[in-house]
Amino acid sequence: MIKKRILIIEDDDLLRQIYHKKLALEGFKLNHSSSGIGGLQLARYFRPDLIILDIMLPGGVNGFDVLEALKKDPKTSATPVIVLTNLDSEKKTAMEIGAAEYIVKSEVSIDKVVKTIKRHVDEKSK
């Protein structure tokens, strides 16, 4: 069975490591970046089946910039992007740009996030 690929774009090292370990145990192949620019480069090269994206990123390129670039690029436009952030006020903007899901980190457990990821990956592979 081919492992589904997930790209995590998250600047919080601890959170990125937690999600990496949990998703690896679930059988996903993972790659990650702590910056928006690095995340865009990896998305084009790694060709993930799903992207987890934080909004607040360092380096002048935030998650909205990344999401917009991903949705405009033919190589990544069909890739589902789950926005996973601490900002509870930006859902409308993220969904208008093209996020598949908007999750506030403090409002859900990691298990619920993993279920959401699996659902989107399964939907994409149909």
Is residue 122 very low, low, confident or very high in pLDDT (cuts 50, 70, 90)?
A: confident
How many domains does the structure of the chain reveal?
A: 1
Which domain, by its residues, includes 57?
5-124
| Closest-CA residue to 65 (of 88, 45, 46, 38) | 38
pLDDT over 70 (residue 1) = no
| CATH number of the domain enclosing 77 | 3.40.50.2300
Q: pTM, whole model, 2 decimals?
A: 0.94
- Classify residue 125 by burial, with Cβ atoms within 10 Å: 0-12, 13-18, 19+: exposed
Q: Where are the alpha helices (DSSP H) in 35-90?
A: 36-46, 63-72
pLDDT tens digits for range 61-97? 999 999 999 999 999 999 999 999 998 899 999 999 9
